[in-house]
Amino acid sequence: MIFGFEKKFLEFLEKHIFVISLAGAFLVGALLRILCRNFVSEDAYNYLIGWYDDIKTAGGFKALKEQVGNYNVLYQTLIALFTYLPIPALFAYKGLSIFFDLMLSCLVGYIVLKETASDKPYVAAITAFAVIWISPVVLFNSSMWAQCDSIYTFFALLAVYLLYKEKNIPAFVFLGIALSFKLQAIFVLPFFLFIYFYKKNFSILNFLIVPAVLWISTIPAIIAGRGLFTGFTLYFNQTNEYGCVMMNYPSFLMTMSYDYMQENYKTVSGIGLAITVFVLALWMVWFINKKPVLSYENFIFIALMLTYTTVFFLPAMHDRYGFVYEILAVLYMFKNKKAIIPGIVLMLISVATYSNFLFHVGIDLRVLTAFNFFTYAYYAYITLKRLGADS
């Protein structure tokens, strides 16, 4: 025998199971972020909080007349806005990034809902939302490190999806917004180039939208007194800022002697850049020659493969630079079950590199490079086998 109120309660749960599941996933992720709220990373302690105080001392928006830190104008403008609010600097940085964690999670869930053929699409969408929202990589990045990779990744992923939908102008606009937040958005540019050559359904002039949007985002700083091309010069200077072949990212270049790499930075960087261009060109030529049908699955997979290639082979990569291709890997997991394990491995690699920086756990980067290399090789195997067969 079951009580009437008990039966009604169970019926309510059954009827609203999707909403309850979504709310539960959200609350778990929110709780984890609350628990991490007071964690101060070295970047936050040494740079971010100081930059925030400098902007606040200089008068908020008045501070836009000078470059503070190494973030571009659009991000600096948002931080300037936060200085007018009665919240601590650490919470301002984390709050902004966490908001985009949520936006990114919703976007991934929405794409999976719309594009994943399943008899239970809402289950897949809620699971995708939860995977991103509760991902340790996403959580560590914003809630512990106080970094903003979810911001530019949200706009970059939106740009990729709009490109798939053949909404080309909005796609380039959002790619420009992504680049206005961080230079690392450029990692998806090779994929846009591939689509240009492969589909031939938009003009090369569309690429000019990206720097145009970047320039528009700097107008507040220009009005405040900075140069007309401040957004571009800032990124140009960043490309030579660190002088390290890699920064805690398990790059392909790790196959060389680390001491040799540092002693011959310019030479090794040139070699890495040449290898990157060569491998990207090789993939693009192969894709164009095989002419696979650009279904949603193939579209996302090629985006993943070209973005992953760019980061894996380029010199001077940081531990956080795999963020975009890791999100693309999650999307691909929901289309191909064989991609679940490599997708998880990618996430674990980043958890390890993040932990090296945040907690000083001392995981050998050479071991992580081996895992990264074999994961890349597995994706390459999938590419050659699957897309070759589809042509």
Task: Tell me the angle at which helices 89-115 and 121-133 cross, rounded to the nearest 10 degrees.
Answer: 160
Helix/strand/coil for 226? coil
Per-residue model confidence as pLDDT tens digits over 209-236: 999 999 999 999 999 999 899 989 988 8
How close are the terminal C-alpha atoms of the chain, in Å? 60
391 pLDDT more than 60: no
List CB contacts of 105: < 8 A, sequence separation 6 or more: 29, 129, 130, 132, 133, 138
State the DSSP string of 179-220: HHH-GGGGGGHHHHHHHHHHH--S-GGGGGHHHHHHHHHTHH
Confidence of residue 311 (pLDDT cuts 50, 70, 90): very high
Q: Is residue 189 part of a domain?
A: no
**Mean of pLDDT values over 144-169:** 98
Note whether 297 and 336 are within 8 A (CB): yes
Q: Is residue 228 part of a domain?
A: no
- What is the share, in percent, of the chain residues with pLDDT greater than 90? 75
Report the domain count for the chain: 1
**Mean of pLDDT values over 26-42:** 97
pLDDT for the residue numbered 93: 97
pLDDT for the residue numbered 11: 72
Read off the tokens for 10: 């169970």
Q: Is residue 113 part of a domain?
A: no
Per-residue model confidence as pLDDT tens digits over 114-143: 998 767 888 999 999 999 999 999 999 999
- What is the share, in percent, of the chain residues with pLDDT greater than 70? 95
Q: Is residue 43 part of a domain?
A: no
Q: How many CB atoms lie within 10 A of CB 262?
A: 13
pLDDT for the residue numbered 43: 95
Note whether 280 and 190 are within 8 A (CB): yes
Q: Distance (Å, rounded) from C-alpha 45 to C-alpha 28?
A: 27
- Give me the torsion for CA of 226, 227, 231, 237, rounded to 10°: -100
**Mean of pLDDT values over 314-328:** 95
Per-residue model confidence as pLDDT tens digits over 336-373: 999 999 999 999 999 999 999 999 998 889 899 999 99
pLDDT for the residue numbered 278: 97
Q: Is residue 290 part of a domain?
A: yes
Which one has a higher pLDDT value, 264 or 191? 191
pLDDT for the residue numbered 156: 98
Domain residues for the domain of 331 are 242-391
The mean predicted confidence, pLDDT, of the chain is 92
Per mean pLDDT, which range of 51-65, 69-83, 237-251, 327-341 is the poorest? Answer: 237-251
Q: Is residue 148 part of a domain?
A: no
Query: Which residue matches tokens 């691909």?
Result: 332
pLDDT for the residue numbered 7: 73
Confidence of residue 104 (pLDDT cuts 50, 70, 90): very high
pLDDT for the residue numbered 116: 81
Per-residue model confidence as pLDDT tens digits over 149-159: 999 999 999 99
**Mean of pLDDT values over 239-250:** 77
Nearest in space to 146 (alpha carbons), one of 79, 80, 84, 221: 79
Q: Is residue 345 part of a domain?
A: yes
387 pLDDT more than 90: no
- Kind plus residue range of the DSSP H or E element containing 385: none
Q: Distance (Å, rounded) from C-alpha 141 to C-alpha 161?
A: 23
Per mean pLDDT, which range of 26-40, 59-73, 85-99, 274-288 is the poorest? Answer: 59-73
State the DSSP string of 125-172: HHHHHHHHHT-HHHHIIIIIS---HHHHHHHHHHHHHHHHTT-HHHHH
Confidence of residue 389 (pLDDT cuts 50, 70, 90): low
Q: Distance (Å, rounded) from C-alpha 179 to C-alpha 210?
A: 8
334 pLDDT more than 80: yes
Phi, psi of 248 (to 5 degrees): 65, 20
Q: Is residue 327 part of a domain?
A: yes
42 pLDDT more than 60: yes
pLDDT for the residue numbered 268: 83
pLDDT for the residue numbered 241: 64
Beta bridge partners of 318: 247, 248
260 pLDDT more than 60: no
Per-residue model confidence as pLDDT tens digits over 64-73: 999 998 888 9
Beta bridge partners of 247: 318
Sign of the torsion angle spanned by Cα atoms 371, 186, 100, 34: positive
Per-residue model confidence as pLDDT tens digits over 185-199: 999 999 999 999 999
**Mean of pLDDT values over 61-81:** 92
pLDDT for the residue numbered 262: 66
The letter for the amino acid at 187 is F
Query: Which residue matches tokens 């740079």?
Result: 47
**Mean of pLDDT values over 36-53:** 96
pLDDT for the residue numbered 174: 98
